[in-house]
Structure 1
Amino acid sequence: MDIDDVQIKKALVAFSIEKALLEMGEPVFQKVTEILKNDYNCYVPDCYDHPEYLKRVLADLYGNAHTAIISSIKESLREFSHQTPVQKFLVALE
């Protein structure tokens, strides 16, 4: 996998995360991105390489309700879920 392919997948995952968070509301997006930055020095695109950060933040903030956000991310990425890097990201969120 070349650099461009990695960047495309990273952007695709970041878009899916942002879309799912914004569907829940602007305050949800703001809170999650704030905690990612403050606790992990991480931004949404970095979640491609560190999905465990996103999973932990969502679980801490929303308990079992975090599964709705993860489901939305999975749905957005369903078309690409057969690709190994995307599949690994999705498995890490479970």
Structure 2
Amino acid sequence: MPQYDGIYALTEIRKLDQNAKVIVTTADLQTVNSTMLASLKTNDILVKPFDIDKIKDTIEKTLRSQPEVDMAKKALVVFTITQSLLKISQSAADEVGSRLYAKYGCYFSDCLEHPEYLNNVLTEIFGNSAAIIVNKIRQNLAEVEDQQPISNFIKSLSK
């Protein structure tokens, strides 16, 4: 059975989600590992001996750290997806939402972080016509498509 260390695991996590919140716990933090962890953008590093109050504070701080700008961008993406689907029909919006949840356990609000889920579901339901919906979403987000994380969303959705 292969053995992997935390740095390898975090590297793999970052390949999947650049914005995942990660708190590292370790018994021993060497300078090399500290530098590597910093480059992998950990939210925090906790070193033994662990203080339960510090752990609680760190978790609360990390969970609260989503900037309002990101929440506004997420809301904009949700609104754009919903409106694009509602222009087709209410049942189209309902079906896409239902399949997102059934296949991936996510909602429209998760699509900013996981545009590939939306792309897969749209293609599954609409086939080649999914490209028309994707183009409509892209057009509606044109004014902000140069902003992160919306530019990543559009690039991933257009694949």
State the TM-score, normalized to the length of structure 2: 0.57
Task: Report the Cα offset of residue 84 of structure 1.
Answer: 2.4
Name the CA distance, whole Å, in 2 between partners of 1:91 and 1:82.
11
Aligned partner of 1:68 in structure 2 is 132
Indicate the percent of aligned positions where both proteins have the same amino acid.
35
Name the CA distance, whole Å, in 2 between partners of 1:35 and 1:89.
19
User: Which has more strand, going by share of residues?
Assistant: 2
**Structure 2: gaps (5+ residues):** 1-65
Secondary structure of 2:106 counterpart: coil
1:59-92 deviation line (CA, Å, top 9, x unaligned): 0111100011101100110000111211110000
Q: How many residue pairs get matched?
A: 93
Aligned partner of 2:80 in structure 1 is 16
1:18-42 deviation line (CA, Å, top 9, x unaligned): 0101011111001000001111110
Name the CA distance, whole Å, in 2 between partners of 1:30 and 1:8.
23
RMSD: 0.9
**Structure 1: gaps (5+ residues):** none
Q: Which has the larger radius of gyration?
A: 2
User: Which has more helix, going by share of residues?
Assistant: 1
Name the CA distance, whole Å, in 2 between partners of 1:82 and 1:62.
27
State the structure with bigger RCO (CA 8 A, min sep 6), 1 or 2.
1
